[in-house]
Each structure stands twice: as structure tokens, then as C-alpha cells.
A and B are shown apart, each in its own frame.
Chain A
Amino acid sequence: ETGVTQTPRHLVMGMTNKKSLKCEQHLGHNAMYWYKQSAKKPLELMFVYSLEERVENNSVPSRFSPECPNSSHLFLHLHTLQPEDSALYLCASSHGQGANTEAFFGQGTRLTVV
């Protein structure tokens, strides 16, 4: 257990569906992240929230919409996704966002878009 919990673990959705991924951290961290892990590609940083404010959005398509209602919870709202969006979505958290930051990861949500 890392203290970072993601639900659901697996999700299959159609291209017209709307779904949400949830992440919860019990570590008292104040920064949270969404990463996308695709086969044979580096982990891609999608969004960063620090103190519940979005500080970075790496040009992610608008069909992905993050929400951070408090420092312990992070959501990724999905709508009208494409098959190429199928991947493992990882949530991470850290204490601060400085140079010595160590990120703690959840187990991920395996998303399949059909």
C-alpha cells in the first residue's frame, strides 16, 4: 500500500460515455498529479495540482478534465474519448513540488476505450 488509492482499477467505456477516475491520498501531501502510461512510451504528465490549484496542464485535450476539490482527492473526468486514449492512468502525490520531491503512486486505472 502506498497511501494513494485509485478507483476503479479497470474501466471500459464507449466513445460517447462520460466517466470519472478517482484518486485519494492518505499521506498528508499537498500536491497531486495525473500521469498517462501507454505502452512503449514514457510516463506522460497530464496535470499537476498544488494546494488544490492547477499549476500545470501539459497540453492535454479538453476531453480530459481534472478536478481537485481538496488536498486529498483528485478526479479525472472523461468524455468523448478516443481509442488512442486507452492506457493506464496513474495518480501520484507528493509533499510540496520542490526539487527534492518524491512522488508516491497509486496502482492506476486501466482504461479501455471501445
Chain B
Amino acid sequence: DIQMTQSPASLSASLEEIVTITCQASQDIGNWLAWYQQKPGKSPQLLIYDATSLADGVPSRFSGSRSGTQYSLKISRLQVEDIGSYYCQQAHSNPNTFGAGTKLELK
């Protein structure tokens, strides 16, 4: 199985701050990478797919990038509604696998 190593596990940031979360794939997955946001008590929401494509309705302050087998999610100006957990997912091969998650809190 492809392992997705996500970091950091938790993150505390201030409003308007730039936030970056990363995922390292254990092997080449091309651009087959998605990011999800999960607010407390809610189901996940797709933010980014194909490593860099913004899902419908997602604010433009969210962006995705790739460098080799390392993938990053950037929130350009943190808002209060961005608080929650974030997960990466590789969709290159089955079983498709998720990172362990990053819990984002307000400082």
C-alpha cells in the first residue's frame, strides 16, 4: 500500500496567517492527490483534487502544489471558518489511502 505521511499532526495559527500542510507519498503518485477539510462534527469536504485543482465552491485562499512526491496545501489568509482537520488522500492506486490528518486550531 502507498503510505501518506502528513505533517504537522497539529498546528496553531493566527487569523490572516499563512498556513501550510504537507504530505509525503511513499512512492510516485503523479498528480493523484486530494485534500479534504473536516470541520468538528461534520463530514469531510473536498478542497483540492489532482494536486492543484480547486473543487467547486472552495475559496481561492486554498491552493495545492506538488514537488516530486511531496504535496502541500496552503491557506493564504487563515479565517475562523477554516478551523478543523485536514487530510490528504492518494488516488493513484488501490487501496487509496489517506494521511493521518492535521488538526488546525486558532492561536
Are both chains from one complex? no
Taking Cβ atoms with an 8 Å cutoff, the residues of A that contact B are none
Taking Cβ atoms with an 8 Å cutoff, the residues of B that contact A are none
